[in-house]
Chains A and B, each alone.
Chain A
Amino acid sequence: TQLLEQSPQFLSIQEGENLTVYCNSSSVFSSLQWYRQEPGEGPVLLVTVVTGGEVKKLKRLTFQFGDARKDSSLHITAAQTGDTGLYLCADAGSSNTGKLIFGQGTTLQVKP
């Protein structure tokens, strides 16, 4: 059974600071997705990475996929209070099943 570990589990920072969260898998990812979940809402997809070494940017968010496709990082530059939420990585697995295996999440709190 694949295990996804995220670190840190909780992060509290001031607005304007930079941060990085990590996701490590016990086995190679089929494809990796990052989600953000705000209180009272379901997770929302931020990005999908498939190729080892891939880097994707979404405004102030930078996603990196490790060369061996077993780890990933999410870096946020100049965090804003609107970035507050639960960040989840997930293995999207085989496209035939559609199942997602989630990490335990990183709770980010950005204080004004």
Chain B
Amino acid sequence: SAVISQKPSRDICQRGTSLTIQCQVDSQVTMMFWYRQQPGQSLTLIATANQGSEATYESGFVIDKFPISRPNLTFSTLTVSNMSPEDSSIYLCSVRLLFRDTQYFGPGTRLTVL
């Protein structure tokens, strides 16, 4: 299994500001992903974080709004830029371990934008 930590666990931010969320994994992983879960909703994939190169974004998500870094195998950041109240959500990172098909999720970062 994998232990995934996210920082911060929650934050309340003002409209127009940006927040960077960190994801750290204690195991070697092959893939890292960022998901968004809006209040009372399911999870939607934002992007795949690629080590050493630009992330691969899903339809409806763009790099200018959600820049992602992954400098090494076990760490990634997601920035939510120029925030609006519509960005209020839980943001979760998930990982797939080397030689395993199972995905593990972090505890999430609960973001409220005022």
Contacts and interface: CB of A to CB of B under 8 A. Distances in A.
Given A42-B108, A105-B42, A100 B103 contact: yes
A45 interface: yes
Interface in B18-56: 30-31, 33, 41-45, 48
Given A100-B43, A103-B42, A42 B107 contact: yes
Interface centre among B42, B44, B48, B106 (most CB of A within 10 A): B42
Interface stretch (A66-74, A75-83, A91-99): A91-99
B21 to A, nearest CB: 13
Interface stretch (B64-72, B78-86, B94-102): B94-102
Interface string A5-33: 00000000000000000000000000000
B111 interface: no
Interface residues of A, number: 19
Contacts, number: 48
A100 B41 contact: no
At the interface, is chain A mostly helix, strand, loop or mixed? Answer: loop
Interface of A: 40-45, 48, 88, 92, 95, 97-105
Contacts of B92: 42
Contacts of B4: 42
Contacts of A97: 48
Contact of A88 (B33, B42, B48, B102): B42
Contact of A99 (B30, B41, B48): B48
Contacts of A105: 41-42
A42 to B, nearest CB: 3
B75 interface: no
